[in-house]
Amino acid sequence: MRVIGVGFGRTGTLSLKAALERLGFAPCNHMREVMASPALIHGWLDIVEGRSRDWDGVLGGFDATVDWPAAAYWRELAAHYPAAKVVLTVRDPEAWYASMCATIFDEARAHGPAVRLLARLSADYRAFRRMAYLAVIQRSLGGVGTDKEALIRRFEEHVREVRAAIPAERLLVYDVRQGWAPLCAFLGVPVPDEPFPRLNDRQTFGRLLRKFMLRTAFRLSPARGRRPPTLPSPRGARPRS
């Protein structure tokens, strides 16, 4: 493990993943890799439910990691991989909140009936929903629901916590809009002669989630276990028609 991305989701993590892989830090773990692997889903569930701390089991073979669920355990990963450099992706907190509402929260509501059906039929999907709920909603975001003020406060607290815990020489606080230059300087690699990747807009997020649900539907198993937690609607949001 050479690079640990500790920024919350919706801060350009998929663009950073593509950039790191282009720079030779490959493969780079991201939530999309977890979604594609039942073994990783259940491995991370063991971690978030406290049965395991097998970081090499879920991240072995990866040269870098960004996004959730790994970012929820940034302190543990920074200690476990002491030679890895740390990148904290940031963005305007208001823009981050709007992006969360338009992607993670909005998609969960939009696919409500399909989510409930798939959760009843698929052990893998139930495991993913519970893992994501515990790692993202509870651990990273503090279980504050979708309250705007509370979420923005948690986002800003996370930035302060990382800055305070990681030595400055090991940490890059980075907005992906800055492009290649600060990232390459921090990692000590040449700047590529090509545009910086710009990925995971709101439409792309929806396509990735629908693809994951469809793929999971082909691995159905008998329904057992707890129902997945549901997300409340953002304050003042209109019901989706």
pLDDT of 212 over the 90 cut: no
pLDDT recorded at residue 118:
81
Domain membership of residue 26 (yes or no) is yes
d(CA 27, CA 20): 9
pLDDT grade, residue 166 (50/70/90)?
A: very high
- Residue 228 maps to a domain: no
pLDDT band at 203 (very low <50, low <70, confident <90, very high): low
In a domain, 224, yes or no: no
Work out the average pLDDT over 15-29: 98
Q: How many domains does the chain have?
A: 1
- In degrees, to the nearest 5, what angle opens at C-alpha 138 toward C-alphas 115 and 85? 110
Nearest to 230 by CA among 127, 118, 130: 130
The answer on pLDDT for 236 being more than 80 is no
Q: Considering the domain boundaries, does residue 229 fall inside one? A: no
Domain of residue 51 covers 3-217
Residue where the block lists tokens 């950073």: 16
Nearest to 1 by CA among 79, 69, 102, 115: 79
At 117, the pLDDT band (50, 70, 90 cuts) reads confident
CB 52 within 8 A of CB 76: no
Q: Which backbone phi and psi does 231 adopt, to 5 degrees?
A: -95, 135
Q: Among 88-92, 94-98, 164-168, 220-224, name the one with the lowest average pLDDT.
A: 220-224
Contact 45, 207 (CB under 8 A): no
φ/ψ (deg, to 5) at 208? -65, -45
pLDDT, one tens digit per residue, over 36-77 is: 999 999 999 999 999 999 999 999 999 999 999 999 999 999
- For residue 42, being part of any structural domain is answered with yes
Provide the pLDDT confidence category of residue 207 given band limits of 50, 70 and 90. Answer: confident
Q: Report pTM.
A: 0.86
Average pLDDT, the chain: 88
Is residue 172 in a domain? yes
Amino acid type, 187? L
> Sheet holding 64-65: strands in order across?
28-29, 64-65, 3-5, 85-89, 171-174
Q: How confident is the model at residue 141 (pLDDT cuts 50, 70, 90)?
A: very high
Domain CATH number, residue 80 = 3.40.50.300
How many residues make up the chain in this entry?
A: 241
Residue 223 lies in a domain: no
